[in-house]
Amino acid sequence: MSSPDRNSHAAVAPKPSSAAKPKLPKSPTKKKAPKSSSEPRKPARITGILKVSPVSPALRQFLGAPEASRTDAVKKIWEYIKLRNLQNPADKREIYCDDKLKTIFEGKDKVGFLEIGKLLSGHFVKAN
């Protein structure tokens, strides 16, 4: 048996250069015109942790407002903690509670930062 000669195959035709093809100008993409309706667009309904709801008397006294969203309440609590340096320096995940924080954190001396959300959930009144 003889092996086929690799050079015996027909030569491959060279590809035509890109200069040989005439380039067509690209057509501009059509952009949709914005809808122009006379009615203003309805704002999205705020739900979940951004929804403002009534709070318990203890949290109301801490925040100084009868209503708050969960995110605003957590932000204000963290501002209070940072301002008074209530984080454990050795373990930043641990919060020391002063008298004011004890009123909203069920009288605990220390709480973990992951507990804050769970402890606050009881302070938000469910609105039907």
User: Per-residue pLDDT tens for 59-73?
Assistant: 999 999 999 999 999
pLDDT at 4: 56
- Distance between CA atoms of residues 58 and 106, nearest Å: 10
Q: How far is CA 28 from CA 24, 31, 49, 55, 81, in A?
A: 12, 9, 44, 56, 57
In the block, which residue shows the tokens 């708050």? Answer: 68
58 has pLDDT over 70? yes
**Highest-confidence segment of 19-28, 38-47, 49-58, 72-81:** 72-81
Whole-model pTM: value is 0.62
Query: What is the average per-residue pLDDT within 16-36?
Result: 62
